[in-house]
Structure 1
Amino acid sequence: MDLLKLLFWNCRGAGNKTFKHNLVEILRSHKPEILILMETKITFSKMGNFFTRLGFTASTIVDPIGRVGGIWLLWDTTQVNVRASSVGPQVIHATVHKEDYEEWVLAAVYASPNPLLRANLWNELEEVADSMDKPWLVAGDFNDFANQSEQRSYSANQSSTQPQKFLERINNCNLMDLGSSGPRMTWTNNRQGLANTMERLDRALCNEDWRTMFLKSS
């Protein structure tokens, strides 16, 4: 049975030559059937032909508002079937089917940096979790971190309750963290010296059914 490959990339801006070159190289190396891009900063209409040439002929799109946010879910229809069931500014829910696999649900997330709006996202995810009867993968940029080891900052304004609330939300949805390899921190403010902050904001979560279905996932 062929392994189903997904690629999540918080690209922090799509459309420039560097993005296009890097994406082509990533696709050549990893050959994903499903591609999820977050924080695109431009509208999909400016890039549609580019993705079609790469073999991603179907898509469900949440464009950024101005240059804030954006979730692009694209897939190769010759390899996998994807049906979007709900689309919002912070999450796209879709059912995924590939030959030899049972159907499962993908939630592609780009959570708002605004805590109040981010709470709305988690309220929605908890409602979905209450009725979820399929394997479920929830992945993307959560704009939050789970413990103090996932943040490196010299700022004195660090909340000790923020990670606890994030973990409570994950537990309320009956999700587990799939872990990661490579650099522990996935985001930086790109400032120098004492002004620099680094955090792990990107992660993949899943329910027990999805973990059992994809034991070799990473």
Structure 2
Amino acid sequence: MNILSWNCRWLGNARVVRVLGDLIKSHKPSILFLIEILSKGDGVKKLNKKFGFDNYWAVDSVGRGGGLALLWDNIISCEVVEASSNFIDVHMLDNNTSTWRLTGFHGLPERTRRRELWELIRTLSNKSSLPWCIISDFNDMLEEKEKNGLHKHPQMLLDGFRIVIEDCGLIELDLTGGKYTWEKSRGKKDWIREKIDRAFAVAFWWQKFPLCKLKVHHTIYSDHDPVNLELYSIDHPKTKFRFRFENI
């Protein structure tokens, strides 16, 4: 199973849609999570039809910003449990064997709202005991080395986000394909790069998907790069075998 997540900024841009089509063709995601779509449900409905997904769920944009979309195929069982302007929370039935939980998350860039969003992560953590993975654009970092630029990231914000992750029992998935997922002012003196698109999961989820892989893919049509999560379940459906004697 592949899960593709991207803060695409604007689905009304034909180039962005074309790049998204190339990503879908290359990685064949079963689930697609999009952030900052700047679109209403009708736009996501058209996108769903264009790229051949079977189902979708949209959170409309408000004003000039926001908007979330989740698209998925019928080959997986996916139930949307709750959604808001900052997340879409779903339950997944994997191979008809067990249920786990996936949350597509969008952390806002305003630093004045960081505590509010940290508390939201805590609230989501307490809603269920299912194996849980939370993915996408957190707009937060854990360490200073996750930023490259002129100004250091405030230690208070680093500490606050790290404490939330630890309190929720979350473990980060290693990111391959590059160190950073977002950039601003490329090639200029004030060029900034940060690792803010990422994924975390609880230990119980790791036991289910120990071979998972998270990779960043670079694109020039958004300041955010898409990340792709590949899952390999170790759950196998139980099969009944009929006992027989062997002739020797």
Q: TM-score, normalised by structure 1?
A: 0.90
Match of 2:65 among 65, 68, 71: 68
> In the superposition, relative to structure 1, how do residues 128 and 17 fare at CA in structure 2: closer, same or farther (>3 Å)?
closer
Per chain length, whose mean CA-contact separation is higher, i.e. which structure has more relative contact order (CA < 8 Å, sep 6+)?
2
* Partner secondary structure for residue 161 of structure 1: helix
* AA of the residue aligned to 1:62: V
Aligned-partner Cα distance in 1 for 2:44–2:35: 14
Amino-acid identity (%): 27
Offset, 1:100: 4.5
Q: Report if aligned partners of 1:71, 1:109 keep a CA contact under 8 Å in 2.
A: no
1:112 and 2:111 equivalent? no
What does residue 81 of structure 1 align with? Answer: 77
1:27 aligned partner: 24
1:194 partner SS: coil
Q: Say what the alpha-carbon RMSD is for the aligned residues.
A: 1.8
Residue aligning to 2:167:
172
Q: Which one of 7, 11, 14 corresponds to residue 10 of structure 1?
A: 7
1:49 aligns with 2:46: yes
2:175 counterpart SS class: coil
Structure 1 spans left out of the alignment, 5+ residues: none
Query: Is the 1:42–1:67 Cα contact (8 Å) retained in structure 2?
Result: no
Distance 1:158 1:20, change over 3 A: closer
Q: Any idea what the Cα deviations from partners look like across 1:89-123, whole Å, max 9, x if unmatched? A: 11111111132441111110011112343322321
CA deviation string 1:31-77 (max 9, x = no partner): 11110011212334224223223222312212222232222111112
1:39 lines up with 2:36 in the alignment: yes
Distance 2:120 2:180 in 1: 27
Deviations 1:182-211 (A, max 9, x none): 121111123542222111110000001111
Counterpart of 1:137, as a letter, is C
Contact kept? 2:147, 2:195, Cα under 8 Å: yes
1:67 partner amino acid: R
Is 2:123 aligned against 1:127?
Answer: yes
Q: Distance in 2 between matches of 1:106 and 1:10?
A: 17
Q: Is the 8 A contact 1:152 1:198 kept in 2?
A: yes
Partner residue in 1 for 2:240: none
Aligned length: 213
* 5+ residue gaps, structure 2: 214-248
What is the DSSP-based 3-state SS (H/G/I as helix, E as strand, rest coil) of the residue aligned with 1:82? strand
Name which of structure 1's ranges 136-145 and 146-155 shifts more when overlaid on structure 2: 146-155
Alignment of 1:198 with 2:156, yes or no, is no
Task: Choose 1 or 2 for highest CA Rg.
Answer: 2
